[in-house]
Chain A
Amino acid sequence: MSSLSRDEVARVAGLARIDLTPAELDRLAGELDVIVESVARVSEIATPDVPATSHPLPLTNVFRPDVPVPTVDRDAVLAAAPAAQDGKFLVPQILGEDA
């Protein structure tokens, strides 16, 4: 099992979309390396014959009648948003190139 380098933590933080300061990166790299080493012991008993479980109780798919029901009030949702305009969320530009 590989250990978690500072560069690797920076790469994964990028995937998770979390900006980290250099000081945070230094600290997290050390801490995560210790944690990963500790949790990696799960592979000791996870042999191929053991099936994986994703959920505590067995479940089948759940349906409801195909009947429209009221949704949460749009104005109340937008009132709690960082920015809204014309009844929609107002978000930053999606693409990175110059406008």
Chain B
Amino acid sequence: MSDLTRLSAAALAERLRSGEVSSVEATRAHLDRIAAVDGAVHAFLHVSDEDALATAADIDARRAAGEELHLLAGVPIAVKDVVVTKGVPTTAGSRILEGWLPPYDATLVGRIKAAGLPILGKTNMDEFAMGSSTEHSAYGNTHNPWDLTRIPGGSGGGSAAAVAAYEAPLAIGTDTGGSIRQPAAVTGSVGVKPTYGSVSRYGLIALASSLDQAGPVTRTVLDSALLHELIGGHDPLDSTSIAEPLPDLVGAARLGANRDLSGVRVGVITELQGEGYQPGVLARFHESLELLQRAGAQVVEVSCPHFTYALAAYYLILPAEASSNLAKFDGMRFGLRVEPSEGPVTAERVMGATRGQGFGDEVKRRIILGTYALSAGYYDAYYGSAQKVRTLIQRDFAAAFEQADVLVSPTAPTTAFKLGEKLDDPLAMYLNDVATIPANLAGVPGLSLPSGLSDDGLPAGFQVLAPAKADDRLYRVGAALEALLEDEWGGPLLAQAPELEVAR
């Protein structure tokens, strides 16, 4: 039998349907792979062997009994640890939630369970999704499968590394400023941030409520479409969820795979290239543009002049919202409680001691920044101005989408950097998200897929952006480019990754 962990989710689902492979076999193969490589990669914070195998056995029995099952039934999946899972440890990468067992499931987890996908476990991340390298996890670094001395991106480095290391064919990520797309770019995998409201936020531990969006992390564009359709759609429990059906995402991915983009207008964003972008990343980007052109797409240059202010606006809006959302970690109802070592044990002093001990450096930095930006005397200059910039960025997008059906850029300015390299320079770390942040500020969807290897032999990412609620365009253009690139490479980019040493 060929190695089941190398199959795409769509291919694995096909073998499960035909009866060639059982879900227990597929799930066991992935659990074995986790046991073999996760000591070195550390993508997982928690592995749910027994639950996953029980789900798999149940699906096998139901399939044998002739039950009509979801297309992805029996295909294992990993879930980012910021998504609550009933009775399964959920820490969001923070000490303050160590040992917490959520009493409910996120809506997207409920949908995964209803469709019968065995949940392999919870993946590592920057604490409360604050970071671009997963180095801000309270539970240790995740290592990039392409080079274990390098970062896997962040905040969802665990999910991206898990799919890139063949520990899972599918994973869930969340993207507040690039936390799905940037890890995809630096690990040679695929990740999609859906339109804001396309996937329910109910049961995500909120970072910035007006920016957060959950989405698929996979190795192929089609797999992302399949997973997006599974987790997406209206949810009454999230009042910001869009009360309309999703576009035909899987159909769009299949259409794109025929490599014909005749009539599609592709806008290259002037402001998201050039200075600060690694030459090899730009070279792969321009080669991808040529392929799109050869497939019939019309490539135009569009300017989004206010995008140069997006990073600044984001690092006011995000900390402001986070400082409010994270106020609930007060040591009263869940998670850690620390009593002050001296003086009266009052609620207020317990809260200060708990948060002082339970939060890591980056979380403290951003909460204090957000509290400052919202405080009397500074609100108008900082938070108020940032909200105006948000309007200007939305107008830039609106104007650009008059000229183009999709917009494109490199996903991240560089390939994966060394662990520790940017840890002491918060501003340098924030720059990793310069190309992904505008989509979150405007609520529009974005996809990242591998564009090739940069001069340093590490993967680079190509980002596609579409208007709100037109997520199908991402999948059409993404699947077309993926097919064209794989024609050139003779297979998926991940096939060029070095084999990980397997522990016994």
Residues of A participating in the B interface, judged by any CB pair closer than 8 Å: 1, 4, 8-9, 12-21, 24, 28, 31-32, 34-36, 38-47, 50-57, 59, 62, 64, 72-73, 76-77, 79-83, 89, 91-96, 98
Contact = CB atoms under 8 A, between A and B. Distances in A.
Interface string B449-460: 000000000000
A1 B316 CA distance: 15
A58 B352 CA distance: 37
A96 to B, nearest CB: 5
A18 B352 contact: yes
Interface band, chain B? 35 or more
Which 5 pairs show the lowest CB-CB distances between chains A and B? A56-B443, A19-B356, A46-B385, A76-B103, A52-B387
A16 to B, nearest CB: 4
A25 to B, nearest CB: 10
Contacts of B330: 17
B333 A39 contact: no
Given A16-B323, A77-B103, A80-B101, A39 B334 contact: no
Contact of B371 (A1, A15, A35): A15
Contacts of A57: 195-197, 240, 242, 443, 468
Contact of B368 (A9, A19, A98): A9
B363 to A, nearest CB: 9
Contact of B306 (A13, A16, A24, A45): A45
Interface string B410-433: 000000000000000011000000
Contacts of A4: 372
Contacts of B365: 28, 31-32, 35
B367 A42 contact: no
Contacts of B388: 42, 45-47, 50-53
Interface string B310-344: 00110110000001000100111111110110001
Interface in B238-278: 239-240, 242
Nearest to B439: A56
A18 B345 CA distance: 15
A35 B367 CA distance: 13
A20 B356 contact: yes
Secondary structure dominating the interface of A = loop
B355 A80 contact: no
Given A46-B385, A52-B387, A80-B103, A31 B442 contact: no
B367 to A, nearest CB: 5
A41 B347 contact: no
A36 to B, nearest CB: 7
Nearest to B394: A53
A74 B345 CA distance: 26
A82 B332 CA distance: 7
10 contacts: A13-B368, A17-B327, A19-B353, A19-B355, A20-B356, A54-B387, A82-B333, A92-B346, A96-B344, A96-B349
A12 B375 contact: yes
Contacts of A77: 103, 333
B70 interface: no
Contact of A39 (B239, B315, B350, B440): B315
A18 B391 contact: no
A88 B242 CA distance: 36
Contacts of A41: 309, 312
Contacts of B197: 57
